[in-house]
Structure 1
Amino acid sequence: MSEPPTTNARRRILLQRTHRWMLPLYLAAASSLSMWVAFQWFADASHVIWVWPVTAVQLGILLPFWSDVRLRLWSIGCGLVANAIAARLLGTPLWFSLAISLTSAFDVTVAGAILSRGVSGFEDLKSRASFKLFATAAFVAPVVSGLLATLPVSSLLHGPFGRVLVTSILSDAIGIAVLVPVILFCLTGKYRDPRKLAPHLPPGVLPAILFTAVVVGVFSQSIYPLLFLIFPPLVLLIMVMGLEGAIFANVALVLIACYATAHGHGPLWLSRDVQWEERLVILQIFLWVAMVTGLPIGALLDEQRRAEIKANDARSIYMTLLENTADMIILSSFDGEQRFITAASEALTGWTPEEFAKLDRLSTFHPEDLPVADMVISSMKEGKREHQFRYRLRQKSGGWRWVEASARAYFDDFTGEVRGYVGTIRDISSVVKTEEAREQLSLAQEGLELMARTDALTSLPNRRAFDNALDQYILGYRSEVQGVLLILDIDFFKSFNDEYGHQAGDECLRKVGQAISSSLIRSTDTAARWGGEEFCVLMPGAPVHVSERVALNVLDAVRGLRIPHAGNPEGIVTLSIGIAQRTEANEDPSLWVQRADAALYASKRSGKNRFTVAT
């Protein structure tokens, strides 16, 4: 049982819960602020918004906590109310404020449902599968919500439905593509701590300055169509800083491009005859293309770098294991031309890896084990991948050592043919000695156990073995009622001993025991010597009529022995049998035995040489 949390631990838990339930308030404040920024910085006089940050802000804050349904719903609800109040304070009609807030909440829900399948933090974006989810969310959610938002927006702006639809979709998509990675980086990024980020900044400073300078230069003039110049420094920055460089580039590009274009600067002002709405759509398309170019490159580069780091770590660990393992490892082609042998060879054989590599492969096998070696090599050449076998390995000192080898074939990547094998060889000489000693001990123990379970006179199981069989039956067939117990007793056996002597009595018991055992008709039945002149038979799962047939067989077999018995009215040795069927699944075994014993004495009272079934 875990100990109760300490006072400090309880305070930390309470603090975490308090911060967690402050999330709806944080989200509402951030959402209101982003609404104000959207209308003040990214909108023209007609309230046409170039970049819609509200959805992205809510989505970025909620994603790390998305699995908490109650918290998520509270946060989305608070964000909806905050957006409606903020939009109303910014001068929009009440109906428009409510419509745009509801649309934004729906947008967050759709995008979050897609992203939550694989993205809960910034580092998740650095895998191919998770980034596909991000790209899908940044496309599907804006399209769906854009269709809903276009109706109120076009009514408010009195603009064409198609143009407003394109602008709405692009503004939302750009907001998600730019801000969601930024917020996730600030909340969950591996390098959000400045101390961790600092060592990685110096290589990216010059590319970041170069990119910013090129973007400023391109958008500070309206004479030449130089938008293409942005992409080389963008790629360079991403190559150096990965996905982090891509999100920095996106933020810088959006801020500079939107500011310059709004103030009449940049390549989009080469022609003064183009309408502002068309110029806005072109700007949005350019920003979207730049993001679609940069973000995937950054994500894939980081994924590749992480894979390389893991591969290098694994290679380093693997080489360390190879050099320090006690097992000898051989990598060899079948022709023996290419062989790699680990340092453990010297401890195992006395030869250094270089010396062992010069030996003929088969010369290291004991002559009696050569057929095993030939079989393994032939089998691997035919395509079987793995073998595990034991053999005696030659020693430099001249002796032999028992080893266990695990050989695995490796194949040519292009042809698919078997090229060679990797063998792992370990010393099992002590194991072999232990197994030999254990085998001898096991044989001796089996003999003792057999003696302990067997009646010395009749060679049948004794009372102890029968009791164990009865217990095992009861445990194994708890729910099964069917089963029969027979108790058998030689008639007038005391007078037999008195008349013929104990030696003859022992011979009689042996013959009767063999007759009982040979009369059983099922392999699952057990005959045993109960004690004295009594025997018993356990018939698991047998119906009564089968036990009656067995009883008749036994009676006939004993009479067929024709053992003379002057004290028996029949003139020969006979048996009496009591049969009891199991009546209940939970019946006490002792009661079952008592019923069979009572049936036996009923046979005795009825004249002997017969069987009686307990009622």
Structure 2
Amino acid sequence: MEQSSEGLTPGYGASVGQLPSFRWTRDAGALMLALAVTTVTCLASGTLKTMAGEIAPIWLTNAVLLAQMMVAPPRQRYWVFAGGVLGNLAANLIFGESIGVCLSYSSADILEVLVAFVFAPRISTVAELIRPRTLVRFLAGGVLLAPIASGLIATTLLRGQLSGYQLPNLANWFVSDALSLAIFTPAAVVLWTGEVTHLLRADRRKKTAFLLLLVCVVTAGVFGQSRFELLYWALSPIVLLAFFADLAGVLVGLLLCLAIAVSFTMHGSGPLWMLPYQSMQGRIFALQLFLVAALGIALPVSATQIQRNRLIALLREGERRYRILAENATDIVMSMALDGTLTYVSPRATAVMGIAPESLIGMRYPDLVLSDDRDALARAIDNLGTGATEAYQVSRFRRPDGRVLWMETNLRPVIDAFSGKPEALTATAHDITERKVAEQRLADERVELHGLAFRDGLTGLFNRRHFDRELAFQWRQEARTDKRGFVAVVMADVDAYKSYNDHYGHRAGDECLRAIAQAIAASARRPSDVVARYGGEEFGLILKETDQQGALVVAERIRLGVENLRIPHAGSDTGIVTISLGVAVQRAADGGDGSVLVEAADRALYTAKRRGRNQTGVAHVDGVDGAFG
């Protein structure tokens, strides 16, 4: 069962029996924190109200409480909300308001928070708030609809307490709360999520501190005088923050700007005193509107920077993974220009080609191959630049020590995302020298074997002489290499063949052997597989680089293939001709020789016959029989 995110976290050391009390303690802490913060912000906003008018021009409380609910775990949101309600009531009572007025103000504020919370996202970082859809939903519901709803409630309930007409009071309430929610909700999210601590990271501490200091200095310079209309000069450090700091830094900078600007404005200084405002409340509204405009400029820049940084991180991670794969691959991985000039070569080149990768950078790939193969490789590269989607070429390379390597190269174009045309090439090169040598040897041997009559005259398969020779050769070859590959031998014998011969005659018996030989040959599908008539009605197979499971698959394919021939056999219990098989597998590097495998496979074959025929037996080379199919 998955543990709840609200469960006990490591480090508290509480037992399971203490878990409920721990949760209650944490919930109570969330309530008390919300109560304290709401009370303090209410008192701070109320102080501005007494200085500016009947309706506070800046209302921090709802934005801070809303942000706390947005980032709180689901269970704690109810406690945060309860703390906010109590804190709001407590602050209004401290100001000496009557119970009716306290309930009216608190009802309006709580309604505003609830409506805004319905539209607000549940987030863990402030970056999630500025995603286009999320931001539009928050602005429409939280910043516009919620203040209208709370304003209607407040101006209706407080009609006898507020001077003037209801509509102007509603407008003042809406402007105050809407601007405050727009400015302070993102800033409060930065504080509640702890993202503000990112400003202290060593890699950005000095730069962010300098930019924030610049905000303070410029804002103080703009609002510390009333002779020049320098208001918009305060935007420049905010824009710089958006370009060179993260979103948390931008929001902290806005808060510093607002705090300094409000302080000077409330003391009668700053460019807003040069404009014909009727009241202090109007100046604070204008200041908030100015900061909302600054936020509107900074947020898109910050969002773009966030996306840019994310893309850069993805590119770096992709490059890191590519290099890890390239440097640990068994093939040589390369990047090259469209003309074949190498721009990157993986370290595998040193082991395979005997040349350091850095020595190959700047060389044309076709120039590295033998002259007889150069033109074909160059044409393959040219085709990729003119529309081909993939190229495959086998070429010969000469190592510095004189050895000639056969290299299989696969090339693909890298398509430019904007133009849709190739801009570079990627390639992988694999050493196939061993395979080429083996193929040539097999070709030569086929010619030789044909001349030496290494084939069985009746079935057309190889005879026992070739079987023994091939097994000895493959065993020696595998034993000389570092490979830990297997060599498998499968021995097969026709069940009750003597009775078949006696009943149907030698001619029918020969036809039966031919049909079975064809079925066996069809089941051994790889060019490197060796199928031979070992003698009489017995057949043998050599399967290179095949483990026990693979050999059993081939053996069962042969058994079913013969069974499916449905050759009538009156002397068999099944009524048709069947075949029994024995399988033995061993690594050549473990010692011994190929004859051990033949003996083991024969032992498994005759055990299979004793157990009822028409089945496959497995024997280990140490003499212990395995499971039978």
Fold match (TM-score > 0.5): yes
Measured at CA, do residues 71 and 226 of structure 1 come closer, stay the same or move farther in structure 2, by a change above 3 Å? same
* 1:79 equivalent in alignment to 2:84: yes
Q: 1:356-505 residue pairs with structure 2 within 5 A? A: 358=363, 361=366, 364=369, 373=377, 376-377=380-381, 380-381=384-385, 383-386=387-390, 393-412=397-416, 415-427=419-431, 448=491, 451=492, 455=495, 457=497, 504-505=502-503
Encode CA deviations 1:318-346: one digit per residue, 9 max, x unaligned: 66876776643333334345654455434
User: What does residue 219 of structure 1 align with?
Assistant: 223
**Whole-angstrom distance in 1 between the partners of 2:41 and 2:353:** 74
8 Å contact 2:59–2:180 — kept in the other structure? yes
User: What does residue 153 of structure 1 align with?
Assistant: 154
- Per the TM alignment, residue 55 of structure 1 is displaced from its structure 2 partner at its CA by 2.1
- Per the TM alignment, residue 241 of structure 1 is displaced from its structure 2 partner at its CA by 3.8
8 Å contact 2:367–2:374 — kept in the other structure? no
Aligned residues: 480
Measured at CA, do residues 400 and 216 of structure 1 come closer, stay the same or move farther in structure 2, by a change above 3 Å? same
The DSSP-based 3-state class of the residue aligned with 1:257 is helix
The DSSP-based 3-state class of the residue aligned with 1:192 is helix
User: What does residue 142 of structure 1 align with?
Assistant: 143
- Counterpart pick for 1:253 among 250, 257, 261: 257
Q: 1:9-158 residue pairs with structure 2 within 5 A? A: 9-10=13-14, 14=19, 17=23, 20-21=26-27, 22-42=29-49, 44=51, 46-66=53-73, 68=74, 70-92=75-97, 94=99, 97-112=102-117, 114-116=119-121, 119-122=123-126, 124=128, 130=131, 133-134=134-135, 136-138=137-139, 140-155=141-156, 156=158, 157-158=162-163
The alignment's TM-score, normalised by the length of structure 1, stands at: 0.62
Measured at CA, do residues 28 and 268 of structure 1 come closer, stay the same or move farther in structure 2, by a change above 3 Å? same
Encode CA deviations 1:566-600: one digit per residue, 9 max, x unaligned: xxxxxxxxxxxxxxxxxxxxxxxxxxxxxxxxxxx
**Whole-angstrom distance in 2 between the partners of 1:532 and 1:164:** 110
**Whole-angstrom distance in 2 between the partners of 1:503 and 1:278:** 116
User: What does residue 336 of structure 2 align with?
Assistant: 332
8 Å contact 2:127–2:247 — kept in the other structure? no
User: What does residue 293 of structure 2 align with?
Assistant: 289
User: What does residue 616 of structure 2 align with?
Assistant: none
8 Å contact 2:62–2:109 — kept in the other structure? yes
- Per the TM alignment, residue 48 of structure 1 is displaced from its structure 2 partner at its CA by 0.9
- Per the TM alignment, residue 186 of structure 1 is displaced from its structure 2 partner at its CA by 3.5
- Per the TM alignment, residue 205 of structure 1 is displaced from its structure 2 partner at its CA by 4.2
8 Å contact 2:66–2:185 — kept in the other structure? yes
- Counterpart pick for 1:167 among 162, 167, 172: 172
Measured at CA, do residues 325 and 526 of structure 1 come closer, stay the same or move farther in structure 2, by a change above 3 Å? closer
- Per the TM alignment, residue 364 of structure 1 is displaced from its structure 2 partner at its CA by 1.8
**Whole-angstrom distance in 1 between the partners of 2:240 and 2:302:** 11
**Whole-angstrom distance in 1 between the partners of 2:407 and 2:349:** 12
**Whole-angstrom distance in 1 between the partners of 2:350 and 2:507:** 67
Matched letter for residue 332 of structure 2: M
The alignment's TM-score, normalised by the length of structure 2, stands at: 0.60
The DSSP-based 3-state class of the residue aligned with 2:31 is helix
**Whole-angstrom distance in 1 between the partners of 2:259 and 2:140:** 22
Matched letter for residue 283 of structure 1: L
**Whole-angstrom distance in 1 between the partners of 2:44 and 2:274:** 28
**Whole-angstrom distance in 2 between the partners of 1:90 and 1:18:** 31
Measured at CA, do residues 144 and 94 of structure 1 come closer, stay the same or move farther in structure 2, by a change above 3 Å? farther
Measured at CA, do residues 369 and 296 of structure 1 come closer, stay the same or move farther in structure 2, by a change above 3 Å? closer
Matched letter for residue 260 of structure 2: I
**Whole-angstrom distance in 1 between the partners of 2:193 and 2:209:** 23
8 Å contact 1:131–1:299 — kept in the other structure? no
The DSSP-based 3-state class of the residue aligned with 1:330 is strand
* 1:188 equivalent in alignment to 2:193: yes
- Per the TM alignment, residue 289 of structure 1 is displaced from its structure 2 partner at its CA by 1.6
The DSSP-based 3-state class of the residue aligned with 2:57 is coil
**Whole-angstrom distance in 1 between the partners of 2:285 and 2:136:** 20
**Whole-angstrom distance in 2 between the partners of 1:276 and 1:358:** 74
Matched letter for residue 149 of structure 1: S
Matched letter for residue 68 of structure 2: I
8 Å contact 2:66–2:113 — kept in the other structure? yes
**Whole-angstrom distance in 2 between the partners of 1:318 and 1:503:** 65
**Whole-angstrom distance in 2 between the partners of 1:55 and 1:84:** 13
User: What does residue 578 of structure 1 align with?
Assistant: none
Looking at CA atoms only, which structure, 1 or 2, has the larger radius of gyration? 1
**Whole-angstrom distance in 2 between the partners of 1:16 and 1:266:** 51
Measured at CA, do residues 93 and 414 of structure 1 come closer, stay the same or move farther in structure 2, by a change above 3 Å? same
8 Å contact 2:342–2:361 — kept in the other structure? no
Percent pairwise identity: 21
Measured at CA, do residues 218 and 374 of structure 1 come closer, stay the same or move farther in structure 2, by a change above 3 Å? closer
Q: 1:228-239 residue pairs with structure 2 within 5 A? A: 228-239=232-243
- Per the TM alignment, residue 188 of structure 1 is displaced from its structure 2 partner at its CA by 3.2
**Whole-angstrom distance in 2 between the partners of 1:215 and 1:355:** 58
- Per the TM alignment, residue 409 of structure 1 is displaced from its structure 2 partner at its CA by 0.6
Question: Unaligned stretches of 5+ in structure 2?
Answer: 3-7, 443-469, 476-484, 516-561, 577-629
User: What does residue 591 of structure 1 align with?
Assistant: none
Measured at CA, do residues 446 and 289 of structure 1 come closer, stay the same or move farther in structure 2, by a change above 3 Å? same
Measured at CA, do residues 425 and 101 of structure 1 come closer, stay the same or move farther in structure 2, by a change above 3 Å? farther
Matched letter for residue 176 of structure 2: S
**Whole-angstrom distance in 1 between the partners of 2:112 and 2:437:** 73
8 Å contact 2:336–2:343 — kept in the other structure? yes
**Whole-angstrom distance in 2 between the partners of 1:24 and 1:142:** 25
8 Å contact 2:120–2:142 — kept in the other structure? no
The DSSP-based 3-state class of the residue aligned with 1:265 is coil
Measured at CA, do residues 55 and 531 of structure 1 come closer, stay the same or move farther in structure 2, by a change above 3 Å? farther
**Whole-angstrom distance in 1 between the partners of 2:25 and 2:224:** 44
**Whole-angstrom distance in 2 between the partners of 1:366 and 1:532:** 66
